[in-house]
Chain A
Amino acid sequence: MGVAVRLSGISKRFGNFAANSNISLSIEEGSIHALVGENGAGKSTLTKIIYGMLQPSEGEVYIQGKPVHFTSPREAINAGIGMVHQHFMLIPSLSVAENIMLGDEHASLFQRLPLKEIKARIQKHALEFGLPVDPEAMVENLSVGEEQRVEILKLLFRNASIMIFDEPTAVLTPSEIEHLFATLRTLRDNGKTIILITHKLDEVLAVADTISVMRKGEIAGTIPAKSTTKLELAQMMVGRSVLLRVKNPPPCPGKTVLDIKDIGFCTTHGETKLHNLTLKVKAGEIYGIAGVEGNGQSELLQALYGLLPAGTSLVGEVKLKGKSLIGKNPAEITLMGVSLTPENRLRHAVILDYPVSGNLLFGRHRERSFHRGIGFNSDVLNRYTLKMIAEYDIKCTAPATQPLSSLSGGNQQKIVLARELNRPDISLLILAQPTRGVDIGAIETIHNKIIEARDRGIAILLVSSELEEIIALSTRIGCMYKGAIVHEFTAQEVALKRNSEHEFKKEIGIHIT
């Protein structure tokens, strides 16, 4: 077997910042090669260079031994490179077959499209690689897993021999992930070269042949998957020893704080998003909601925070310590002692152009203790900022002036959590994807802070698509599927099953699909 992709001394600089520096790497033909690393380690920059979306500042790329200088993805595609992006590039109102041939129609302007031929080829590929999908189905009616299969079929149609997958499992259910891995192995066995970008170490160990760990724009090491462990990989990624699982001492839950009874919600298009959802969260416990994204979690969060879109309404009851939350706006709900860290941090939780201190204040700026005159008390604000920075280990240089956008994802999230966890008199904390896009090193801090908040007697509702996180933190777990809690694991069950994580994940997986 030869070398499919060889990188020699690749560097990529943006201004003064080196996203990649002096990277040399060989990717074997017919292997699954994983690139792992924390956010900002330079994985996506490197793949963009291979795919022709970026040009390296220095160094050479060799494809099948030949030096190449791609100036656009089009050239990379012609050279046999394909990429499945994290966000699929499909047109919802076209059929599967139409999407697959889009951009590569093999027909002149007024000629009929060779749809029949395409469909036959789709069937053939589908059988060969385990990619079952109906060529006539509209893409808008497909599940996420099926959409991904369409993307893979697209690459097969373009005869790609090198396939890049950018975080392919982020949106899949556990069983879909198994399925994808089987497909990847078949592709490899058929001589395709797979480059897999991910930050999920379990998955890498399960499917990859070779693993390259990236840290701060450099390759920290390349090792065969067989001869390494999760802990070793994590240490290579972070550059120091890490604790993968937070200590979770037994909780002592108190009275019910949040009481959701039979709520239902329909969008303006008449789509049912929540259906007879019932759950209770007690003081001093973490209620974890496990589920694949798009099963009503977003709507539940919006409903709890008074942010359902105008023109829709919620049926059922939502009570916080006996008082209804329905019909209240976010400011009133906050005042009642509810705090939320939204799913989409960049869009909803922070103001990117505000400095660190402004963001620690944002959303809490109505609290009297920060006020002086018509503005804010800069002494109080400074003290609070410095305290949060120290307590949450936030890395920044000038908290009063440095815009938040210049911080890493992990530090941004720590700022959001520092702000929300420290609100005075909170009784309910709603955490949505609290560690999404956060470095392993920062996850440790964040998880510890969440447990600490629980032990202060705060009721916590945790929504996360990372089952590991749900299992590690939750006191009780509710499985959410199609807008309802379909199964609940009691505190005893969770405490017992936490020790055999792999089996527990599978069991949860059954309930959420």
Chain B
Amino acid sequence: MNRKTAQILIPVLSIMSALVVSMLIIIIAGRDPIMIFEKMLQGTLGSAYGTGQVLFRTTTLILVGLAVALPFKVRLFNIGAEGQLQMGAFAAAMTGAMLPPTLPSLSAVSLCVVAAMGAGACWAILAGVLKVRFGVNEVIATIMLNFIAQGITGYLLTYHFAVPSTVHTTPVIDAAVIPSLHSVTGFFAKSPANFSALLSPCVALLFWVILFKSRFGFEMRATGLQPEAAKYGGINAGMHTLTAMGIGGAAAGLGAANILLGYKHYYEAGMTGGIGFTGIAVALLAGAHPLWIMLSALFFGLLEYGGLTVNAYIPKDIFMMIEAITILLVISFSALGKRMHQ
């Protein structure tokens, strides 16, 4: 078995085994797994609305997956996509609410998106600075920054910006809304799928170009693979740590724009709902490869929304278990594959 086939075989094998395990769990819970999966398929890809929902979730997952994947290539484990997502969403909401209502749509959306990306990037770079300057492990730094982001957004929302007797901010101006696919094309019923869905594959492609086709990516991957050799090669490893985190954080911010500008239109407590953590799973399943991330995000998008559609029959926690089991299997199988190679 060569490396290429192993790279594809391992995730496929993990997903299959995870499905088998989940079927067993469903049987233990007293339900017919075939029926559950049938309902799930009907609820998701079987309907226009369901497909739209999956598409919407996949969009965010591609972006947060990329936010984890790029730092991963420089040997940084970005656990902070959730915090970066929250900061990005809050920044977009604030910007969108404060813009003059007469602003043309293109500039309003652009300004909000830039604010979301900037906030996400700054939050991620902060972890990078802590790492480069003070040697703080990025896992710890990003986890702590998640808490801090939660605190800041929570405080600002509750004490300053919430519309009285609600838990959300004032909505962004109409011009700052990313139009839904339904409103323009008529497809996908009234689902939250919006034009960001078209953007995210382009971003994934861009990340692929940066990583594998540019000089910058050549240096970046070298830094991740062999940091000491990179130093001898005259590569500034600290700079790559910061940019990888920054670009990753910006992608997370873009994911926040999808949710906020494309769907909710205001910032609400708990609106990111841990999707930043699912991003870690997306990146791991895809081996941090920007193009595979699209498929991996689709898989998790299906599970995320599919779990909701069959919630009446079986708790959606089962699907959270499938997600987690898949990741554990991917990691175990890759380790096993490596050992077999030796």
Q: A365 touches which one: B213, B219, B228, B342 (CB < 8 A)? A: B219
The answer to whether A349 and B229 touch across the interface, beta carbons within 8 angstroms, is yes
The tally of residues in B whose CB lies under 8 Å from a CB in A reads: 21
Contacts of B236 in A (CB 8 A): 329, 331
Contacts of B216 in A (CB 8 A): 374
The answer to whether B234 and A330 touch across the interface, beta carbons within 8 angstroms, is yes
Q: If A351-B225, A374-B213, A375-B213 touch, does A365 touch B218 (CB 8 Å cutoff)?
A: yes
A473 located at the interface, meaning its Cβ lies under 8 Å from any Cβ of chain B in the complex = no
Q: If A351-B226, A352-B225, A353-B225 touch, does A376 touch B218 (CB 8 Å cutoff)?
A: yes
Q: If A331-B234, A342-B232 touch, does A376 touch B215 (CB 8 Å cutoff)?
A: yes
Contacts of A334 in B (CB 8 A): 234
Q: B232 touches which one: A348, A354, A361, A366 (CB < 8 A)? A: A348
**Using a CB–CB distance below 8 Å, which chain A residues touch chain B?**
14-15, 305, 307, 329-331, 333-334, 340, 342, 347-354, 358, 361-363, 365-366, 371, 374-376
Q: If A15-B341, A351-B226, A352-B225 touch, does A330 touch B233 (CB 8 Å cutoff)?
A: yes
B222 located at the interface, meaning its Cβ lies under 8 Å from any Cβ of chain A in the complex = yes
Cα distance A122–B341 when bound, in Å?
A: 44
Contacts of A305 in B (CB 8 A): 232
Could you jot down 28 A-B contacts, CB within 8 Å? A307-B231, A329-B236, A330-B231, A330-B233, A331-B234, A347-B226, A347-B228, A347-B229, A348-B231, A348-B232, A349-B232, A350-B226, A351-B221, A352-B226, A354-B221, A354-B222, A354-B225, A358-B218, A362-B222, A362-B229, A363-B232, A366-B215, A374-B214, A374-B215, A375-B214, A375-B215, A376-B215, A376-B218
**Using a CB–CB distance below 8 Å, which chain B residues touch chain A?**
209, 213-216, 218-219, 221-222, 225-226, 228-229, 231-236, 341-342
Cα distance A338–B271 when bound, in Å?
A: 56
Cα distance A363–B228 when bound, in Å?
A: 12
Contacts of B209 in A (CB 8 A): 374
Residue of A nearest to B235 (CB): A331
Residue of B nearest to A353 (CB): B225
Cα distance A479–B219 when bound, in Å?
A: 38
Contacts of A353 in B (CB 8 A): 225
The answer to whether A371 and B233 touch across the interface, beta carbons within 8 angstroms, is no
The answer to whether A329 and B229 touch across the interface, beta carbons within 8 angstroms, is no
Closest CB in chain B relative to A252 CB, distance in Å: 32
Contacts of B219 in A (CB 8 A): 365
Contacts of A350 in B (CB 8 A): 226, 229
The answer to whether A351 and B222 touch across the interface, beta carbons within 8 angstroms, is yes
Contacts of B221 in A (CB 8 A): 351, 354
With A305-B232, A331-B236 already in contact, 19 other A-B pairs whose C-beta atoms are closer than 8 Å = A15-B341, A307-B232, A329-B234, A329-B236, A331-B235, A350-B226, A350-B229, A352-B225, A362-B222, A362-B229, A363-B232, A363-B234, A365-B219, A365-B233, A366-B215, A374-B209, A374-B214, A374-B215, A376-B215
The answer to whether B232 and A340 touch across the interface, beta carbons within 8 angstroms, is yes
Closest CB in chain B relative to A320 CB, distance in Å: 16
The answer to whether A362 and B233 touch across the interface, beta carbons within 8 angstroms, is yes
Closest CB in chain A relative to B59 CB, distance in Å: 26
Contacts of A331 in B (CB 8 A): 234-236
Q: If A330-B231, A351-B229, A363-B233 touch, does A14 touch B342 (CB 8 Å cutoff)?
A: yes
Contacts of B215 in A (CB 8 A): 365-366, 371, 374-376
Cα distance A75–B218 when bound, in Å?
A: 48
Contacts of B232 in A (CB 8 A): 305, 307, 330, 340, 342, 348-349, 363
Contacts of B229 in A (CB 8 A): 347-351, 362
Residue of A nearest to B341 (CB): A15
Contacts of B341 in A (CB 8 A): 15
Cα distance A374–B217 when bound, in Å?
A: 10
Contacts of A365 in B (CB 8 A): 215, 218-219, 233
Closest CB in chain A relative to B103 CB, distance in Å: 33
Cα distance A347–B225 when bound, in Å?
A: 10
Residue of B nearest to A15 (CB): B341
